[in-house]
A = this chain, B = another copy of it.
Amino acid sequence: MREAVHAAVIELLVSGETEAAIPRIAERAGVNPTSIYRRWGTAANLILDAAVSRLRATTPVPDTGSLRGDVEAWATGVERSLNAPDTQVLLPALVAAQGTDASPAEHLLVRLADLEQMLTVAAERGESTPPVEDLLDHVLAPLYLRALLRIPIEPGFGARLAARVLRECPADPDRGVVRGD
C-alpha cells in the first residue's frame, strides 16, 4: 500500500497538481482515504515521506574500496537522481512542505546516514576521514542548490566536487578524525 500511495502522489505532483489532496491521492492509488489519514495524517507528511523514499531509492551506497571512490560514485548517483524529472518536482515540493511531524531536513538525514556509512567503512580500512559536514557543505550543497533553483547540473560535477573536498582541499589535520580506533 505504501508504494502505491507514494507512486500516486509522485504522479500527481509530476503532472502539475502541486496541491495534491489526500482524497485525490487515495483515488489514484486505489486505497481508502481513511488509511492514508491514519498512516500519514497530512498531505505534507505524505509528500515528505514519498520524496525521501523516492530520492533515497535512486542512490545506493557504493563500495569501491576507497573513500574517494565511494564518495565520487555516490555523488554521481546523487547528481543523476537530482537531474531526474520526478526529482525536479519532488525536491521543491519537499522544501515547500510544512509537515507536522516531519521536516524537510529529514531528507538530508538520509543522505548524511549514507555519508556516515562510507566514512565508517573508510575509517575501518585505516583511511583518515573528514567531518561529515565537509561532505554535506561542499558536495551535497552545491548539487542541491542547483537542483532547487532549477539550474542544469552538468555530468561529472558531483564527482569533481567529491574529488576536490577529498584531495585538493584535504581536511585540516586537527579537524579530520580517524574513526574506528
Write the residues of chain A forming the contact surface with B, with a CB cutoff of 8 angstroms.
18-19, 92-93, 95-96, 103-105, 107-108, 136-138, 140-142, 144-145, 148-151, 161, 168-169, 172
Contacts and interface: CB of A to CB of B under 8 A. Distances in A.
B148 A142 contact: no
The majority secondary structure among interface residues of chain A is helix
B141 A145 contact: yes
Nearest to A97: B92
A92 B96 contact: yes
A10 B141 CA distance: 26
6 contacts: A104-B150, A105-B150, A108-B145, A108-B149, A136-B142, A137-B141
A16 to B, nearest CB: 9
